[in-house]
Homo-oligomer: A and B are copies of this chain.
């Protein structure tokens, strides 16, 4: 910048003004500066700019795993909003590791990002979040709330969505409906299980704990338990899989079986329509979730001080055949 000013024969501030598109610069000097910039291959150092202005023009996104389509769609939506606001995206995956989540959030904060969008981990203290929050860092939670922290949050209607899926099965004559989830303690799983139970209760179907299976790592461990459930004396005639990975895991297990039970899965996935029968799902809208979270965040960065809000997005039942099979 110093060199540019020297070459153009102007002061530092004139260079700064030209770079930032300030109008009050004479055309002659503007031109001289632009030429010098081109000549020297100058590019503004945003790090220094950030230090001076306090605006990082970047936000941090912490999700569970970028390899999960649900989260990569959220990520895409956040990126679009950030782009439209000339903000860059720092992103990280926690992989359900609370220590890692903490580390990444603190790293973002050290960078002084303008704000944070976080899928909170559930298995550890979130004191550090409270610290940052009181330090004035803008934050939006997505997919799960954090108990005790009153912060903007974007959620899916897990209970209602699960209910609609299970009701669909019940409407098609099923009364023995199994529920497959990953870790039952997780926010989304527990809410979807609640929706499942609500739907059963509303239909006067007794809850049978033997029909609920929760795993730590669905992909690896689902095969055994699910097989024995299906081979049991009084097997379920339908399955409600409470998340993406459970649905796909169940499809794998059932691939080799005849007499497959009906299936409704929570969360849509690619090729759900190309399987036969097509897989009926309770679809979330990850793009909308990401977009709303980002918009909420930028609204805060624009000094909106209204009370924190929680947005709950509805789900959509997409019927493709697998849930319509009668027992």
- Chain A residues proximal to chain B, CB less than 8 Å: 41, 43-48, 50-51, 56, 58, 65-67, 69, 72-73, 75-76, 79, 83, 88-93, 100, 106-112, 131, 134-135, 248, 251-252, 255, 269-271, 273-276
Contact = CB atoms under 8 A, between A and B. Distances in A.
22 contacts: A41-B131, A46-B110, A46-B112, A47-B47, A47-B50, A47-B111, A47-B112, A66-B72, A66-B76, A67-B75, A67-B76, A69-B69, A76-B93, A79-B93, A88-B90, A88-B108, A90-B90, A252-B274, A255-B273, A269-B271, A270-B271, A274-B275
A163 to B, nearest CB: 27
Contacts of A135: 41, 43
Contacts of A252: 273-274
Given A47-B50, A48-B51, A65 B56 contact: no
A140 B112 CA distance: 27
A88 B111 contact: yes
Contact of A56 (B47, B106, B131, B251): B47
Contacts of A92: 79, 83, 88-89
A137 to B, nearest CB: 10
A251 B274 contact: yes
Contacts of A89: 90-92
A45 B108 CA distance: 10
Nearest to A253: B274
A255 B277 CA distance: 10
A261 to B, nearest CB: 16
A58 B58 CA distance: 13
A107 B44 CA distance: 10
Contacts of A67: 69, 72-73, 75-76
B109 A58 contact: no
Given A79-B66, A88-B90, A110-B46, A248 B270 contact: yes
A75 B66 contact: yes
Contacts of A134: 41
B276 A251 contact: no
Contacts of A47: 47, 50-51, 56, 111-112
Of residues A44, A45, A67, A100, which shows the largest number of chain B Cβ atoms within 10 Å of its Cβ? A67
A171 B73 CA distance: 39
What are the 6 closest A-B residue pairs judged by CB atoms, nearest first? A46-B110, A72-B72, A67-B76, A47-B50, A251-B274, A46-B111
A72 B252 CA distance: 23
Contacts of A41: 131, 134-135
A277 to B, nearest CB: 11
B270 A255 contact: no
Contacts of A69: 67, 69, 72
Contacts of A44: 110
